Amino acid sequence: MTIIFYALAIIGFLTLVFVHELGHLVFAKISKINVVRFSIGWGKPIVEKKIGETVYQIGIFPFGGFCQMAGEQIVDDAPIAEGDFYSKKPLPRLLAVSGGVLFNLLLGIVLLSFAGMLPSMNVYLPPVVYIPESLSTQPAYQAGLRSFDEILKINGKEIYSFTDLQTIISQIMGEKLTIEYKRDGQISTVTIVPNVERNTGRSVIGVYPYIKPVIDTVETNSIFKDIGLEKGDLLISVKNEKNISRNILSTADLSEFLESHLYENITFTFQKKDGTIIEKSAFVDKQFDPGLNFYVEYRKTPGLPFYKSFIMSFPKSIDTLDMFKKSLRLLFSGKVDVSQSVSGPVKLIYISSKVVQTGLKNVLEFFALLTLILGATNLLPIPATDGSYILFFLFELISRKKLNPKTISKIQTVGFFLLLALMILVFINDIITIKDLF
For the stretch 25-70, pLDDT in tens is: 999 999 999 999 999 988 889 999 999 999 999 998 877 889 999 9
Residue 36: how many other CB atoms lie within 10 Å: 13
Amino acid identity, residue 420?
Answer: L
Q: Please give the single-letter amino acid code of residue 210.
A: Y
Q: How far apart are CA 434 and CA 427, in angstroms?
A: 11
SS (H, E, C) 328-390: HHHHHHCCCCHHHHCCCHHHHHHHHHHHCCCCHHHHHHHHHHHHHHHHHHHCCCCCCCHHHHH
Query: Is the C-alpha dihedral spanning 413, 414, 416, 421 positive or negative?
Result: positive
* Confidence category of residue 341, pLDDT binned at 50, 70, 90: low
Give the residue-averaged pLDDT of 67-80. Answer: 80
Determine the pLDDT at residue 174.
Answer: 66
CA distance 25 to 97: 9
How far is the C-alpha of 161 from the C-alpha of 168, rounded, in Å?
A: 11
pLDDT > 70? residue 353: yes
Q: What pLDDT score was predicted for residue 367?
A: 93
Q: Is the confidence at residue 290, as pLDDT, over 60? A: no
- Is residue 338 scored above 60 in pLDDT? no
Predicted confidence (pLDDT) per residue in 120-166, tens digit: 888 899 999 999 999 999 999 999 999 999 999 999 999 999 999 99
What's the burial of 41, exposed, middle or buried (CB within 10 Å: 0-12/13-18/19+)?
buried
The whole-angstrom separation of Cα 60 and Cα 340 is: 28
Name the CATH superfamily for 124-211: PDZ domain (2.30.42.10)
3-class SS of residue 132: coil
Instruction: List, by residue range, all CATH 2.30.42.10 domains of the chain.
Output: 124-211, 215-289
Using the predicted structure, report yes or no on whether residue 342 has a pLDDT greater than 70. Answer: no
Burial class for 176, CB neighbours closer than 10 Å (0-12, 13-18, 19+): exposed
In CATH, what is the architecture of 215-289? Roll (2.30)
Predicted local distance difference test score (pLDDT) of residue 375: 92
More confident of the two residues 253 and 351:
253
Contacts of 20 by beta carbon, 8 Å cutoff, 6+ apart: 65, 100, 101, 103, 104, 371, 374, 375, 378
pLDDT reported for residue 305: 94
- CA-wise closest residue to 12 among 424, 348, 433: 348
Predicted confidence at residue 287, as pLDDT, reads 56
Q: What was the pLDDT predicted at 93?
A: 93
What is the pLDDT confidence band of residue 365, given thresholds at 50, 70 and 90?
Answer: very high
CA–CA gap between residue 39 and residue 43 (Å, rounded): 9
CA distance 370 to 320: 10
Please state, for a pLDDT cut of 70, what percent of the chain lies above it.
90
